[in-house]
Amino acid sequence: MQVYFSHSYRDVSVNSYFLEHFVNEDLSLLADQKTDVWCISKLERYLSEIVGFVSIIPRRPTADDPVGYSPYIGRELDLARRARVTRLLFVDDQVLNHHKDDFPDDAVGFPSDSPAEFESIHREAIQKFRTTLETRARRRRRPEKPTLPERPKAT
């Protein structure tokens, strides 16, 4: 099962914290290589080939929004929504509280200075995500029952 990993390369400590949990759950994450050019068509191709989407969404303050987040991660999230890919979002608590309408109700918050404070909640969310992916994968693999032709009606 391939899962796309949407994250900011700048937030090494937060990413490391969450990656450790994904490794423990044996989830294989696919990350786009960091480049100066953002290729939407490549991301769209990834989203058509994967079974899940994970995003770590840290705070990215701007002059207009002191609790903003990366517009690139926001775009990835929009593409994943449209692709109807199973998603798991970990969002900085302040971002989640300030931008509630941008995220689904099941987005999981984390304090950026100490994400491990909610480790049991994060671990549980990852386990639930994995179970959902496995269940959907099993449904897709199940062979369809052949349909039998109708019998002619007796007259």
Choice between 102 and 155, residue whose per-residue pLDDT is larger: 102
Q: Which tens digits make up the pLDDT trace of 113-150?
A: 999 999 999 999 999 999 999 988 776 555 555 566 66
Rg of the chain taking only CA atoms, in angstroms: 19
Q: Which tens digits make up the pLDDT trace of 67-102?
A: 999 988 998 899 899 888 899 999 999 999 999 999
Q: What is residue 126's predicted lDDT score, i.e. its pLDDT?
A: 96
Token pair for 133: 């992916």
Q: Which tens digits make up the pLDDT trace of 9-67?
A: 788 899 999 999 999 998 888 776 666 666 677 777 777 778 899 999 999 999 999 99
- Long-range contact set of residues 130-135: C-beta below 8 Å, sequence gap at least 24: 130/25, 130/27, 132/86, 133/1, 133/3, 133/27, 133/51, 133/52, 133/86, 134/1
Residue 85 burial (C-beta neighbours within 10 Å; 0-12, 13-18, 19+): middle
Token look-up 């990656």 returns: 19
Question: Is residue 112 over pLDDT 60?
Answer: yes
Q: What is residue 148's predicted lDDT score, i.e. its pLDDT?
A: 61
Q: What is residue 99's predicted lDDT score, i.e. its pLDDT?
A: 96
Give 3's strand partners.
29, 52
Residue 28's nearest CA partner among 7, 51, 57, 58 is 51
